[in-house]
């Protein structure tokens, strides 16, 4: 374990974040968008853990627990929004929600 360089872990986190963000931009299905946000959250959590290990402190893992709790809450809210979205607009395409245009 200790032999894996920290930069690998950070690189993995960056790649995961990039995948999530790219999905967020490219995909239009609201469920997939929510999944992409999950990926980005986990990428951030991974970065915390790696950083915690790097300095030999527990803070990074504590922070990851917070991220998990927040992610759970976010999913609950996100799915509720998805249901209302579907009821209101009849689809799950995020591009249909453009009523706020200037």
Partner 1 sequence: MLGLLWLIPALPAAGFVALVLGGRRLSRRVAAMVGAGSVGLAALVTLLVAASFIASPPPGDAYRQVLWTWFDVAGLKPQIAFYLDAMSLIFILVITFVGFLIHLYSTEHMEREEGFTRFFIYMDLFVASMLVLVLADNLLLLYVGWEGVGLCSYLLISFWQKDVQNVYAGRKAFIITRVGDTALIVGLFLLFTQLHTLEIQPLMASATANWPVGSGFAVAAAALLLGGAVGKSAQLPLQTWLPDAMAGPSPVSALIHAATMVTAGVYLIARTNVLYELAPDVRLAVAIIGTATLLYAGLSALAQHDIKRVLAYSTISQVGYMFLALGVSGWDAAVFHFMTHAFFKALLFLGAGVIIESLADEHDIFKMGGLRHRLPAVFWTFVIGAAALAALPFVTDGFYSKDLIIATSLGSVDGSIWLYLGALAGAFITALYAFRLVFIVFFGEQQTPVTRLPRRREKLPLYVLGALSVVGGLVWMPGWLGGFHPLESFLDTALPSTELTGSAFAEGAGSALLTIVIVLVGIEIAYLLWLRWRTATARFAARPTPRAIQTFWLHGWGFDWLYERVFVLPAKWFARVARGDLIEPAVGGIAWLHLRGWRALSATQNGLLRTYLTAAGVGVVIVLAFVVLR
Q: Point out which residues bind partner 1 (CB under 8 A).
A: 21, 24-25, 28, 94-95, 97-102
Q: Smaller CB distance to partner 1: residue 5 or 98? A: 98
How far, CA to CA in Å, does 41 sit from each of 19, 27, 74, 99, 101?
12, 17, 10, 28, 28
Q: Smaller CB distance to partner 1: residue 2 or 101? A: 101
Q: Smaller CB distance to partner 1: residue 28 or 86? A: 28
- Three-state SS for 29? strand
Tokens at 59, concatenated: 């803070």
**Least distance to partner 1, CB of residue 41, Å:** 15
**Least distance to partner 1, CB of residue 94, Å:** 6
Q: What count of other Cβ atoms lies within 10 Å of the Cβ of residue 37? A: 18
């Amino acid at each position: 374990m200790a032999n894996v360089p920290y930069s690998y872990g950070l690189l993995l986190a960056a790649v995961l974040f990039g995948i999530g963000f790219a999905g967020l931009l490219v995909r239009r299905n609201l469920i997939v968008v929510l999944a992409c946000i999950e990926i980005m959250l986990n990428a951030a959590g991974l970065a915390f853990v790696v950083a915690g290990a790097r300095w030999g402190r527990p803070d990074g893992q504590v922070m990851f627990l917070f991220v998990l709790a927040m992610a759970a809450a976010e999913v609950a809210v996100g799915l509720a929004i998805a249901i209302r979205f579907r009821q209101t607009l009849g689809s799950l395409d995020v591009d249909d929600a453009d009523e706020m245009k200037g």
